[in-house]
Each structure stands twice: as structure tokens, then as C-alpha cells.
Amino acid sequence: MPGYIPREPSDRASGVGPSRRSFQAGVRVIGSLLFWSWVLLWGSVIAVLGLLLFVPFNPWTDPRLRVMGALTRLWGWGAFRMVPGFRVEVVGLERLGPGQGPYVLCPNHQSFADVPLLLMALPQFKFIAKTPLFWTPPLGLQMRLAGYVEASRGEAGGAERVLARSIAWLRRGVHVLVFPEGTRSPDGRVQRFGQGPFALAQRAGVPVVPVAVMGTRKLVPKGDFRFDFSEAGNVRIEILEPIPPTGEARELASRARARIQEAVGQSSAGAARRVQDAPPDESPR
């Protein structure tokens, strides 16, 4: 039937009663606790390795801190590889290939899962992160060793410090990643973009690359520690066309946001079509 959209089955129609749903919720909580325990344990291993390797691979011997960055990327890879059925689709990765950039990478922000996911899926970059992350063990220690940039929190001269450190990485040929929304979206919609990342691109004279992240909000919703393992195969990252750093920062922010909104909207429309085109459940009731 044209325009048919399957509805969520009721408990009676699906055969899933309250006790079954409670059991599934309990399994999800236990699975999430195990997952986050593994993330913490694996992060501790990475931090210890980072301390040991920082002696031979420090900023003097490794100006781009590639080894420290590789360890942090390994943390992201290890975190998700323990999730059953996890799969991420990355589109446009050639835009960040050898000889491309450096760029200011500007992804939308849906979930806590975005950070390890982007570390795992993209070539090495340095990102600007909020101060509390730098004091969160064991991740904070590895972030300091890898040279990530601590965001300013109203400190005198903080904005210039962040700008100077970010420009220094870009001049060394290293991508810098910033979440223009500043915080995670509660509903998956792309929020208003701040102008900071785009002012950085203009000061450094490098293009902006919008990055559309899709599927992570349902994976780990904002304000909820529970991991939805049923969504582990529905994550997609799309690296969009670079935007030259011309015009005002506000215009750059608007263009980057519009491109990400378009990519997210197309992905959502495609998922809706797949649901609409799916054959109805013909299993006996």
C-alpha cells in the first residue's frame, strides 16, 4: 500500500509482555555496565602505554605527536570493537587522505560516543575539548600526552591561547577538530553553530571540512549511560566537501551547518524509506 508506514507493535501483538521487556531492559543495563568498564580498563592500559612511550616519542622527537595520537586512536578502536555487531560506514574519507589539508574539522555532536568514534574512524587530528575531560582519568592523561587543546572557560586570554595552540597544530600539517555546537544535541537536530572554529580557519588560512555524524544519538543518548546495542550497525560518518575560509565567520558557520543538515536529512529520509518499503510482518499471530 503506497504510503504505508509500519507501526510499532503493541505488547499483545508482538508477544512481548511486561516481564519480557523488563528482562530486556535489565540485560541492556548489565551490558552497558560491562561496556563502560571495558572502556575504562582499556583507557587505563592506553594511558600507561602513553606514559612509557612519551619518553622516546615526545614533542622534540615527534613534533606532531603521531605516536601519542595513534595510541588515542587505538583507544577509540578498542572501545567499539568489543560491541557485538558494531559497524560504522565512513563516506568521503579520501578527502582526508595523504596530501590533503590540514583542515579544521567541524562535526555535529549527538552523543558521548562521537569522540571515540571519530578518533577511530578518521585520520589523526587534535581536538579542542572542555576542561573536565582533561581531569577525567584515564582519558585526561592521554589527552594531555597527545597534545589535545583545552578549551578556555572564561580565563583571561584563554581564547587567544586556544587559538594559538590550534594554529600551531595546523601549521604542522595536523587537522584540528572542533564541535561547533559546543555540546551534544538532545534530540539529534543540528544545533546553532558557534563562530569560533570558523574564525580559527580564517586566522590559519585553511579550509573547513563539515563532518556529518549520524546514528550515535540512539547508540548512547544524551543524559543516559545505557548503550543501545541494537543500534550498533546504524552509525554513519560523512566527510563533506571542504569550504574555503572566505567571507565572514558567521557565513562560514551557516554554510557548514546547512551542509551537515542536508546530509543528516538525506540519511534520515533514506532510513524512513527503507522502513516504509519493508514488507509487512507475515508471521503467524
Per the CB < 8 A criterion, the answer to whether 225 and 107 are in contact is no
User: Helices (H) and strands (E) in the chain — how many of each?
Assistant: 10, 7
CA dist 135 and 254 (Å) reads: 33
Asked whether the predicted pLDDT for residue 277 surpasses 60, the reply is no
pLDDT 10s digits, 36-94: 899 999 999 999 999 999 999 999 999 999 999 999 999 999 988 878 888 899 999 99
Is residue 147 left, alpha or beta, with left meaning phi > 0 and alpha meaning psi from -120 to 50? left
Residue 106 Cα distances to 41, 112, 123, 194, 268, angstroms: 29, 16, 14, 11, 20
pTM listed for this prediction: 0.85
Maximum distance among all Cα pairs of the chain, rounded to whole angstroms: 69
Q: pLDDT-based confidence at 282, cuts 50/70/90?
A: very low
| Side-chain-side CA neighbours of residue 247 (13 Å) | 14
pLDDT band at 6 (very low <50, low <70, confident <90, very high): very low
Domain 17-277 coded CATH 3.30.70: no
- Per-residue pLDDT for 279 more than 60? no
Q: What is the mean pLDDT of the chain?
A: 86
Rounded to a whole number of angstroms, the distance between the first and last alpha carbons of the chain is: 21
Pairing status of strand 208-214 against strand 104-107: parallel
Taking only the tens place, the pLDDT of each residue in 183-231 is 888 888 899 999 999 999 999 999 999 999 999 888 888 888 888 888 8
Query: What are the boundaries of each domain within the chain?
Result: 17-277
